[in-house]
Amino acid sequence: QVQVVESGGGSAQAGGSLTLSCVADGPYFLTVCMAWFRQSPGKAREAVATFNTHLKAQAYANSVKGRFTISRDAINDTLYLHMNSLQRDDAATYFCAAESCTGLHGALAFLEGRYRFWGQGTQVTVSS
């Protein structure tokens, strides 16, 4: 029902910046809430940032607060993750997720199992 495609991954030096993009193609009501997750080898997938389009509300994991910004461009309907002051620990595969906002409030929006629609992921590498 919803196809999710990420782009923009790549390599950056520690302290540098990268911007990820995500397009979710499907019924609007199924993509009102979106989020970025990341997963490093041997680690569980973790939420990085969430975006509620109706409320225009963003939320961030503590590990990226103040460094990453999630936004959604209404004109081209693209979700972004602007990553600044990158650290080695930010290296991971980043996934974009989409869902209706039913049940996605507060901390629940950070739960992987709450999202049905996922992209294939885009790799981010951070070198020192």
pLDDT per position as a tens digit, 8-55: 999 999 999 999 999 999 999 999 999 999 999 999 999 999 999 999
Mean pLDDT, the chain, as a whole number? Answer: 96
Would you give the DSSP letter of residue 62? T
- C-alpha distances (whole Å) from 32 to each of 29, 50, 54, 61, 71 are 6, 11, 7, 20, 13
> Which tokens go with 116?
């049905």
Bridge partners, 5 (sequence order) = 23
Q: Is the predicted pLDDT of residue 112 greater than 90, yes or no?
A: yes
